[in-house]
Each structure stands twice: as structure tokens, then as C-alpha cells.
Amino acid sequence: MFTATLLTNPETPVLDRATVESLRNAWGGGDAIWLDPGVAAEFPLEAVPANLWDVWSGLQPLGIDLAVQPGANRRKRLLIADMDSTMIQQECIDELADEAGVGSYVAGITARAMNGELDFDSALRERVGLLRDMPADTITRVIRDRITLMPGGLALLTTMRANGAYAALVSGGFTAFTAHIAAVLGFDENRANTLLIENEKLTGHVADPILGKQAKLDALLEITARLGITPDDAIAVGDGANDLAMLTNAGAGVALHAKPSVAAQCNLRVNHGDLTALLYLQGYRREEFAA
């Protein structure tokens, strides 16, 4: 058995009964269950429809996301999440670069690296090199003034942890940012790269080894083994090419507002919903969200 989930942005609840029932009838699905009126609904299916991605494409202009996944083991015991443009709305290195006056140049490199066009490690070293001699306290100011949380993140963390899940923040960004975001949202642990600092200034270097694509996959495998579960018990979320190995090896890998080349390689794609989409994909009803 499989489950089809339709969802949209909670800020613009455009999902209507006619759309859900039309698709359910076309696919011969079971009774629809509304997880949140106007926002998310699901119904069971015997098999993955042959025209899934055609229907998905047709719903995108309406602001509706569609996912079909196995119906069993949907409520996961591990959340493993990227940070930049996933748990927060910015790329932390771009924000630091903007303070250094090289924001546009660095943002271009970041976009290409996240789209898989550049080697992640080399691109990170080049961008960090441009931050040389930046006062270290700039990081604190950037976190305070420039970083905003992705909507739905607190509900996602609070609800999953209230239901016994473990949460890990695994980022190709920097520990100075992940430590703060992990504390604010309630992650159990965080992993990221370390900016090297001397005499209260950035050196322009990052500590080895760099946490990139392989390190994110390693984190998934290490954490699940430590918890005595399997990767099938994990839901992963990210948006960049360095997230792909983690996304494709987790039981549920969600490409959230992802680069097109990344989303194309993932079965669960959320372009309109916020982070609460990960709860709806696990079958949580809105009234089950933890306060």
C-alpha cells in the first residue's frame, strides 16, 4: 500500500476538496483524510500511479505539492536536516560575505555549488578565503540581524521530539551558526564546518576535514546505527547537491524548495509547503502538532 499526500503553504491554504476528490477518483484511491483543512490531505493507494509526475507538474502552478510514498513506517524516529535554506531562510556564508563587501560574488559561487556545478570542498575554501581578517564578532551580528528561521521548523522539531524522535542538524555551513540554530529549535546534536579564528579575526581557512556530501551521508549512517535504527527510520530534508546522498539514502528524503537538479533526483519534493510539510508527509494531523 502507498499513501498520496497533497499539501500547500499554510499561509495560503488553497487545497480544496474538489482537487483532492478528483485525484482520488482518478487514481482509484481510498477515502481521503484531511490532515489540515485547506492545507493537507491524504488517501491510500494500491500502487504508484504511472502518471504521478505528470499530475505533480500539473498541480505545481496551483501552488499544490504532491507526494506518493509507501504507507508503512511513515512516522520516523530520526530527523536529519540541512541548515542553510532549509532550517533557516538564508545561506550563512552569503550573509557573511555581504558584510565583507563580496556578497554578490560569493552568492554566485554558492548557487552553483548547491546546484552541483562546482566541487563543494573547493567552492567552500574559495568563499571562506574571501572572509579573511573579518572580525569574529561579525558572526554574532549576522546571526542576530540577518538570519531568520524557515517557517514551520519549530513545529516540526517540537512535534517529532514529543513523539520520541531524535533530531540532528547536519550542515555544510559553520558550527557558529548551527550551534545557535540547534539551541533555538531544539536539535539534539549539530554538525558543521569550523571557521578558524586567530586574534579575534577569521583566518580565511576552515578546519579539516570539510563536512560535505559524504559527511552528511556518514552522519545519517552513524546516527541511525547509534540509535539502533536503520536509515529507513529517518526523514531527511535539504535543498542542495551536497544533501543528495543523505536524501536518497534516508527512508524519506524531502527536497525542500530545492535546486531543480536536486529535486529531480528525489521522490519527495516540497516547493510550496513550509517545514510542517514533513509532518503531513508522516501522517500527522494539525491537531497533533506539539505546542
Task: Please say whether the beta carbons of 236 and 220 come within 8 A.
Answer: yes
Helix (H, G, I), strand (E, B) or coil at 216: helix
Choose the catalytic residue: 36, 84, 233, 243.
84
Choose the catalytic residue: 36, 82, 121, 274.
82
Q: Cell numbers at residue 284, please?
A: 500527522
Q: Cell numbers at residue 79, please?
A: 530527523
Amino acid at 33: I
Task: Please say whether the beta carbons of 241 and 262 come within 8 A.
Answer: yes
Q: Cell numbers at residue 209, please?
A: 576535514
Q: Cell numbers at residue 118, please?
A: 562546482
Strand arrangement, sheet containing 2-7: 33-36, 40-45, 2-7, 65-70
Active site residue 208: no
Active site residue 232: no
Q: How far apart are the first and last CA of the chain?
A: 32
Pairing of strands 65-70, 33-36: unpaired
**Residue 145 CB-half CA count within 13 A:** 10
Contacting residues for 31 by C-beta, under 8 A, at least 6 apart: 43, 44
Contacting residues for 6 by C-beta, under 8 A, at least 6 apart: 15, 19, 20, 23, 40, 41, 42, 59, 64, 65, 66
Query: How far apart are alpha carbons 25 and 23 in whole angstroms?
Result: 5
Helix (H, G, I), strand (E, B) or coil at 62: helix
Query: How far apart are alpha carbons 178 and 32 in whole angstroms?
Result: 39
Query: Active-site positions?
Result: 82, 84
